[in-house]
């Protein structure tokens, strides 16, 4: 068992990111048994859930644009995704085999006008989700991250956590990537540059 200052953060293991889902990540479901097993090592387990209202500004359909194209938002360039993880739909539910007995489920991406890849800040990089306060008030300073997708939500969460001063390890064997236009190798480089331990 890890010490009380450590937490496992399980990112977005939801039906829409698994094979058959709206934004399926290749092999997304393969990590579930390993993630479940790793939970037994941690006194604190936190799950995140991508949680968009219908008509969200990150959806290509909202803009009449092609999925995987990009647009300029007030906070920067935004990839436009297929509709996914719409609040209270089956696509937004956790994978049926994922153990969900963690301490906290943090939802993100619910603001209609701002996407939120990171578990710590929305994509404007300033609006907090509250996760930092939750961890600090519980005396947690060391994080292990697993989940989907390596190059988007895991990457943004890990880099933000490192910038906030947490010790961060990403278990890439328990992550899977979207990998569009070299996004996976850029994410791995960016995480290492930010001081994340990439295993
Ligand atoms: C994610 C794209 C859009 C993720 C979420 O969980 O990595 N990617 N929304
Ligand atoms: Zn999303």
What pLDDT, in 10s, does the model give residues 178-198? 999 999 999 999 999 999 999
User: What is the reported pLDDT for 199?
Assistant: 97
Q: What is the mean pLDDT of the chain?
A: 98
Establish whether residue 7 lines the binding site of ligand 1, counting it when its CB lies within 6 angstroms of any ligand atom: no
pLDDT interval class at 154 (50, 70, 90): very high
Indicate which ligand has the atom closest to the C-alpha of 175: 1
pLDDT interval class at 134 (50, 70, 90): very high
**Does the active-site annotation cover 153?**
yes
Question: Once rounded to an integer, what is the mean pLDDT over residues 8-24?
Answer: 98
User: What is the reported pLDDT for 56?
Assistant: 98
User: What is the reported pLDDT for 2?
Assistant: 96
- Structural contact between residues 94 and 49, judged by C-beta atoms closer than 8 angstroms: yes
**Does the active-site annotation cover 192?**
no
Q: How far is the CA of 1 from the centre of ligand 1 (A)?
A: 30
The per-residue pLDDT for range 30-67, each reduced to its tens digit, is 999 999 999 999 999 999 999 999 999 999 999 999 99
Q: How far is the CA of 114 from the centre of ligand 2 (A)?
A: 10
Q: Which strand ranges, in their side-by-side order, compose the sheet holding 44-50?
A: 104-108, 44-50, 6-11, 142-148, 167-176, 197-198
Q: Which of 128, 149, 131, 127 is nearest to 140 (CA)?
A: 131
Give the span between the Cα atoms of 185 and 93, in whole angstroms: 29
The minimum-distance atom of ligand 1 relative to the CA of 58 is: 3
Establish whether residue 148 lines the binding site of ligand 1, counting it when its CB lies within 6 angstroms of any ligand atom: yes
pLDDT interval class at 167 (50, 70, 90): very high
Q: How far is the CA of 84 from the centre of ligand 1 (A)?
A: 9
The per-residue pLDDT for range 80-123, each reduced to its tens digit, is 999 999 999 999 999 999 999 999 999 999 999 999 999 999 99
CA distance readout (Å), 64 to 51, 67, 165: 21, 9, 40
Residues, CB-to-ion distance under 5 Å, ligand 2: 50, 109
């Amino acid at each position: 068992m890890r010490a009380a200052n450590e937490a496992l953060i399980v990112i977005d293991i939801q039906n829409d990111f698994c094979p058959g889902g709206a934004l399926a990540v290749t092999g997304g479901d393969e990590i579930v048994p390993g993630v479940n097993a790793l939970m037994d090592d941690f006194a604190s387990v936190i799950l995140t859930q991508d949680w968009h209202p219908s008509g969200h500004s990150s959806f290509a359909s909202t803009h009449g644009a092609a999925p995987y194209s990009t647009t300029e938002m007030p906070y920067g360039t935004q990839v436009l995704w297929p509709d996914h993880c719409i609040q209270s739909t089956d696509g937004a539910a956790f994978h049926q085999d994922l153990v969900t007995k963690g301490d906290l489920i943090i939802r993100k991406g619910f603001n209609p006008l701002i996407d939120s890849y990171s578990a710590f800040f929305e994509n404007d990089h300033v609006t907090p989700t509250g996760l930092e306060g939750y961890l600090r008030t519980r005396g947690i300073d060391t994080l292990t991250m697993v989940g989907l997708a390596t190059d988007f939500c895991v990457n943004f969460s890990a880099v933000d956590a490192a910038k906030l001063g947490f010790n961060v390890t990403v278990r890439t064997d328990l992550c899977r990537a979207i990998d569009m236009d070299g996004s996976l190798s850029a994410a791995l480089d960016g995480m290492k540059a930010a001081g994340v331990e990439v295993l």
